[in-house]
Chains A and B, each alone.
Chain A
Amino acid sequence: MAGDGEFIFDPARMFRAMERHGHSAMMGFRFVAHGHDWVELRLPWRADLVGDAETGTIANGAVTALMDMAGGMCVWTRLGLFRPQATLDLRIDYLRAAKPGADIIGRVECYRVAREIAFVRGLAHDGDAGDAVAHMAATFMFTGPPMPPRGSSANPVGGPPGMSA
């Protein structure tokens, strides 16, 4: 369990490992902030992430990827530890078009963790948090038991919670 007193899951720290690998690295996701049950990430605008060459706005699929990533991380943040999981379903409502050339900021909160499933919801905006571009709701299914923090008494050898690196 977390609450060893020696380590509390730190999404910023985990993200520093994640952002160098895989899809996070390719997309260029950046960690912004977190609370006890939410995580905020940024997707910096890039020409190759554009979904409509005419307008220059970031692709909807890229916004979805950002929200999926923030969603998974906010579950671990609320749990206070890493537990392997997979997205079960994810819904995005596109509230309005993002501004051309704008970064996208996504904040997702985990509002319920059940035995097998975690429930999250979030908003994405392009500069004004009060004027969202997309709303997201998703569920994640746990695929294994919680993994105690590396270096804790329950995991002294430093097993994998290091991350999907």
Chain B
Amino acid sequence: MSITLPPYAAALGIIIEADGAGEDAPVLRMDFADGLSGRPGNLHGGAIAGLLDMAAWASMRAMLDAGEGPARFKPIGITIDYLRGGKHRPTYARGRVTKVGSRVATVVVEAWQEERSKPIAAARLHFMLGRSEAAES
């Protein structure tokens, strides 16, 4: 399966590092660039947020493309925990759809650098599901 990331992903330099196999969500990768820096020596929290948001979106897209799920979804909200400072090196992120209901899906997503077991940030999102325009508010 292959998904196309939105323009904002390209602006941040985000690429798909690994397509998910089966229903696994893809791993996204964001290499460091000057345009992503915040306080000295650190990635900007906004750039990390962008990566988390894209990884969550990609996990939803991949899941829905793989099955008979609803074609459309839109975010209701995101809650981000910044766990460690992001350094000037590649950052990875992967979302996991933890629940798909009839109206709402929940995604958890983590971003990490050298070690997957030491995430630099994590987030939880809810998406409104819709099968057609009529479901959009």
Query: Counting chain A CB atoms within 10 Å of each CB, which of B35, B40, B45, B137 scores highest?
Result: B45
Does B81 lie within 8 Å of A23, measured CB to CB? no
Q: Mark A139-150, 1 if CB is under 8 A from B, else 0.
A: 000000000000
Does A27 lie within 8 Å of B82, measured CB to CB? no
In angstroms, Cα B40 to Cα A61, docked, is 22
Does B50 lie within 8 Å of A64, measured CB to CB? yes
Does A25 lie within 8 Å of B85, measured CB to CB? no
Residue from A52, A59, A87, A90 within 8 A of B50 (CB atoms):
A59
Chain B residues near A151 (CB-CB < 8 A): none
Q: Given the known inter-chain contacts A47-B7, A164-B39, please indicate yes or no for A23 contacting B46, CB distance below 8 A.
A: yes
Does A48 lie within 8 Å of B10, measured CB to CB? yes
Does residue A5 face the partner (Cβ distance < 8 Å to B)? Answer: no
Which of B's residues lie within 8 Å of A, judged by CB? 6-8, 10-12, 33-40, 42, 44-47, 49-54, 74-82, 85, 137
Chain A residues near B53 (CB-CB < 8 A): 51, 59-61, 64
Does A25 lie within 8 Å of B35, measured CB to CB? yes
Q: Mostly helix, strand, loop or mixed at chain A's interface? A: mixed
Chain A residues near B40 (CB-CB < 8 A): 164
Chain A residues near B38 (CB-CB < 8 A): 22-23, 164
In angstroms, Cα B82 to Cα A53, docked, is 29
Chain B residues near A60 (CB-CB < 8 A): 53, 75, 78
Does residue A16 face the partner (Cβ distance < 8 Å to B)? Answer: no
Chain B residues near A69 (CB-CB < 8 A): 46
Q: Given the known inter-chain contacts A94-B77, A97-B74, please indicate yes or no for A22 contacting B6, CB distance below 8 A.
A: no
Does A89 lie within 8 Å of B78, measured CB to CB? no
In angstroms, Cα B44 to Cα A66, docked, is 11
Does residue A91 face the partner (Cβ distance < 8 Å to B)? Answer: yes
